[in-house]
Amino acid sequence: MTAFRMTPAAARRSRSRSGLRAPRAAGLVVAGLCLGLGFVGCAAPLPGGTTPSANPTPQPGVMPLRGMPVDPSAAENPSLAVKIDNHPAARPQIGLERADLVFEELVEGGLTRYAALWHSDVPESVGPVRSIRPMDPEILGSFGGIVAYSGGQPQFVDQMKAAPLLNVSFDDDSEGLFVRADDRDSPHDVVLAAAETVALHSDLAPPPRQFDYADSAAEATAALAGDPTTGIVTRFSESNGRAWAWDPAAPAYLRSQDGAADLDTAGAQLRATNVVVLRVEVDRGSDVPRTILSGSGEAWVSTSGSTMPVTWFKDAAAAPIRLADADGATVELAPGNTWIELVPADDGSVELVL
């Protein structure tokens, strides 16, 4: 990795941004400024205590979870959220490369699991499907539509059933939507008939928009106002590491896990148009860690090979995540798929490669 340094442009922005609270560095890699990221003006409460609107302005004619142009009639289906396994034995996952949004969350043993959402491009099958966790109602509550999973502790299942989504569970599969794959070992073998699940519940409303999108990648906020970076490295615990490398030929961020390329079932490396890293608190009061995705905190948005520090806001479980720059303006992502990394504030880390 390149040593971190402040660019002249970053220095000018630093002098122009007054009243910002310095970020807390506990538990994060610190090498240079702002959690080792080489940026000043890192995400903090906005001047005057303002927050961006919790009700994003509709963008007619675009997919609500991907920001790409669409015939409105093709976006009338509900979104499908699925808990996807990320144990090494579960890789490569099925259909993950076609998800609009993927949230990566910490679970037991320092491992991570995905809450992935499909709306614009629903595959025939997705998996391996795993159990629900206590943070999932908060992560998924703003999307509506369908959530699918394979069991979970009773109290977590009850919390998910109380959320405003239709629950589809492997443990109560009256519609025959789940199967066990013959070429995978249990418990990493549960596969959901995704397209059939959505078709059976096509009466449900489509999801509201989660993020704001620019008209093109070149007009995305980070592309215009961020600092050039070639990669993003995140750690959710001491036992794992994730990396995103910007490939201008793709153009996309290519994903690696634990030092190796992260591949789909066709052997292609998983990729993202936008990578959004949120620094989040984690409740470790029980054997199951619970990510707290409410309130606000520091974040970083990477698009088109540039990264900028922002602030994230989420007012309630049913409210969308809002992203704002240091002046309180809404951050616009590039049209395309987005991965959201929910990195623990206590012992997680975030680094940018210049």
Q: Report all structural domains of the chain as residue ranges with CATH numbers, in order of start.
A: 8-57+211-353 (no CATH), 77-200 (3.50.90.10)
Q: What pLDDT is stored for residue 21 in this prediction?
A: 28
Q: CA-CA distance, 281 to 294, in Å (whole number)? A: 9
Cα–Cα distance measured from residue 302 to residue 5, given in angstroms and rounded to the nearest whole number: 18
CA nearest to 78, candidates 147, 141, 151, 173: 147
pTM: predicted TM-score of the whole model, two decimal places:
0.86
Question: Which pLDDT score, from 0 to 100, does residue 61 have?
Answer: 82
Specify the pLDDT at position 54: 54
Residue spans of alpha helices (H) in the chain: 8-16, 136-140, 154-161, 194-200, 221-225
Residue 52 confidence (pLDDT): 53
Strand 212-213 relative to strand 146-149, pairing: unpaired
10-residue mean pLDDT profile of the chain (354 residues): values are 31 30 31 33 40 58 92 89 97 98 95 97 98 96 97 96 97 96 97 98 95 97 98 90 96 96 98 98 94 96 98 94 97 98 95 94
CB contact at 8 A, 281 and 269: no
Alpha-carbon distances of 316 from 147, 159, 160, 236, 293, rounded to whole Å:
18, 15, 15, 24, 9
